[in-house]
C-alpha cells in the first residue's frame, strides 16, 4: 500500500442564486385637500387668525406615511409647524373687509340677551347689563381709533408723495437763471471769438509776410480780451455746476428723511397682523355669547361677556399702539414738508 494515497477533492454544493425582489415604491402623498375650516375661511376672505383659534382646522390635513408610523413625533411637530404657517398667513393675507362688523352683537343676539337678562336675578341682570354697556363703549373707542389711524395714514401718505414729487423743483429757478446768464454771456462774446478766429485764419493764408505780421499783431491785441471772456463764461459754468451739486444734496436730504417711513410701514404691518389675534378671540367670544343668549343661560352669557371685554381690551390696546405709530408716520412726512419749505418749495 502506498504511503500517500490520492485524496479525493471534496465537492462543495453550489449556492443557490439570489433572486432580487423588487423594492416596493411608496405611494406619493396625496395633495392637501381643498376643504376644511382653514381653506373655507381663506376662500371666504376671513383672516387666518380666526381659523387658528380652533386646532381642528389643522387636523383635516392628512399625515404622511412616516407620521403614521410615529404618532408621538407627529404630535410634537404639528403645533410647531402650524405656528410659522399662521404667522406667515397673518403677515401676507389682508384683513377681511367685514372685520369691524363681525365684532358687533347682532340684533337677534341682542334680543335674546335682553330676554335672558329679564329672567335672571336682579344682581346677575345688573352685572350683565353693565358689561354690555362697557362692551358698547369699547366698540365706540375701537371704531374711533381705527378711523383715526386710517385717516392719519392716508393724509401722511398723500403728503409724502407730494413732497417726493416736489423735491425735484428745489433751486429750479436759480438754475434756470444761471443757464440764461451763461447763454447771454456766450452770445455777447461770440463776435469777439469769431473775429479772433478769423484773424488767425487770415494771418496763415496771407500772401505777404508784412500782411501776416500785421494780422498776427492785431490778433495778439485781441487775445487778452478773448481769454478774459472765456474765463468769465467758465466762472458762470462753474456756478451752474455748484448749483446743481447743491440741489442734488438737498434732494437727497429730503429723500433721506422720507426713507424713515419704510421701517414704520413694516412695523405697522406687523402690529396690524398682531391685532388680528385678539380680534379672532373676540369673534369667538361673541359666538359663545350669542349661543348662550339663545339658550337663556345667564351664567354662560355673563362669562362670555367677560371674555368679550378681555379680548376687546387687548384689541383696543393694539389699535391705540397703531394710532401712535401713525402719529410718528405723520410726523416724518411733516418733517420732510418743513424741510422742503426751507429750500423754498411748497408741497401739500
pLDDT in tens, 8-44: 555 555 565 565 555 454 444 444 444 444 334 433 4
Residue 59 has pLDDT above 90, yes or no: no
Q: In terms of pLDDT, which residue wins out, 204 or 5?
A: 204
Stretch 296-322: mean pLDDT: 96
**pLDDT tens sequence across 75-85:** 443 443 444 44
pLDDT value of position 101: 52
Closest CA to 138 of 292, 284, 320: 320
What's the CA gap between 151 and 318, in Å, rounded? 17
Which pTM was predicted? 0.63
% of the chain exceeding 90 in pLDDT? 56
Least confident of 60-69, 112-121, 162-171, 323-332: 60-69
Residue 265 has pLDDT above 60, yes or no: yes
Note whether 238 and 137 are within 8 A (CB).
Answer: no
What's the CA gap between 220 and 223, in Å, rounded? 5
Residue 233 has pLDDT above 50, yes or no: yes
What's the CA gap between 164 and 339, in Å, rounded? 12
Helix boundaries (H) for 93-121: 99-102, 107-119
What's the CA gap between 243 and 135, in Å, rounded? 61
Amino acid at each position: 500500500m502506498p504511503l500517500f494515497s490520492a485524496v479525493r477533492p471534496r465537492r462543495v454544493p453550489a449556492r443557490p442564486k439570489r433572486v432580487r425582489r423588487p423594492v416596493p415604491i411608496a405611494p406619493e402623498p396625496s395633495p392637501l385637500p381643498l376643504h376644511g375650516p382653514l381653506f373655507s375661511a381663506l376662500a371666504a376672505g376671513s383672516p387666518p387668525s380666526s381659523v387658528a383659534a380652533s386646532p381642528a382646522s389643522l387636523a383635516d390635513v392628512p399625515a404622511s406615511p412616516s407620521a403614521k408610523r410615529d404618532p408621538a413625533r407627529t404630535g410634537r411637530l404639528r403645533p410647531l409647524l402650524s405656528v410659522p404657517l399662521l404667522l406667515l398667513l397673518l403677515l401676507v393675507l389682508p384683513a377681511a373687509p367685514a372685520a369691524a362688523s363681525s365684532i358687533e352683537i347682532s340684533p337677534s343676539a341682542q334680543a335674546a340677551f335682553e330676554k335672558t337678562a329679564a329672567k335672571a336675578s336682579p344682581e346677575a341682570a345688573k352685572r350683565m347689563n353693565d358689561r354690555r354697556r362697557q362692551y358698547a363703549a369699547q366698540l365706540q373707542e375701537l371704531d374711533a381709533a381705527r378711523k383715526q389711524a386710517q385717516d392719519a395714514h392716508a393724509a401722511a401718505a398723500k403728503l409724502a408723495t407730494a413732497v417726493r414729487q416736489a423735491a425735484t423743483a428745489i433751486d429750479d429757478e436759480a438754475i434756470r437763471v444761471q443757464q440764461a446768464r451763461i447763454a447771454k454771456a456766450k452770445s455777447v462774446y461770440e463776435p469777439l471769438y469769431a473775429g479772433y478766429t478769423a484773424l488767425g485764419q487770415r494771418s496763415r493764408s496771407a500772401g505777404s509776410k508784412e500782411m501776416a505780421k500785421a494780422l498776427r499783431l492785431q490778433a495778439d491785441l485781441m487775445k487778452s480780451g478773448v481769454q478774459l471772456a472765456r474765463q468769465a463764461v467758465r466762472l458762470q459754468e462753474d456756478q451752474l455746476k455748484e448749483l446743481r451739486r447743491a440741489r442734488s444734496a438737498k434732494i437727497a436730504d429730503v429723500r433721506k428723511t422720507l426713507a424713515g417711513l419704510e421701517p414704520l410701514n413694516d412695523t405697522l404691518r406687523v402690529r396690524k397682523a398682531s391685532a388680528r389675534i385678539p380680534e379672532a378671540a373676540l369673534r369667538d367670544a361673541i359666538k359663545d355669547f350669542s349661543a348662550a343668549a339663545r339658550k337663556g343661560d345667564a351664567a354662560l352669557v355673563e362669562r362670555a361677556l367677560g371674555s368679550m371685554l378681555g379680548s376687546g381690551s387687548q384689541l383696543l390696546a393694539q389699535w391705540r399702539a397703531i394710532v401712535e405709530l401713525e402719529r410718528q408716520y405723520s410726523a416724518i412726512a411733516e418733517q420732510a414738508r418743513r424741510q422742503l419749505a426751507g429750500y423754498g418749495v411748497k408741497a401739500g
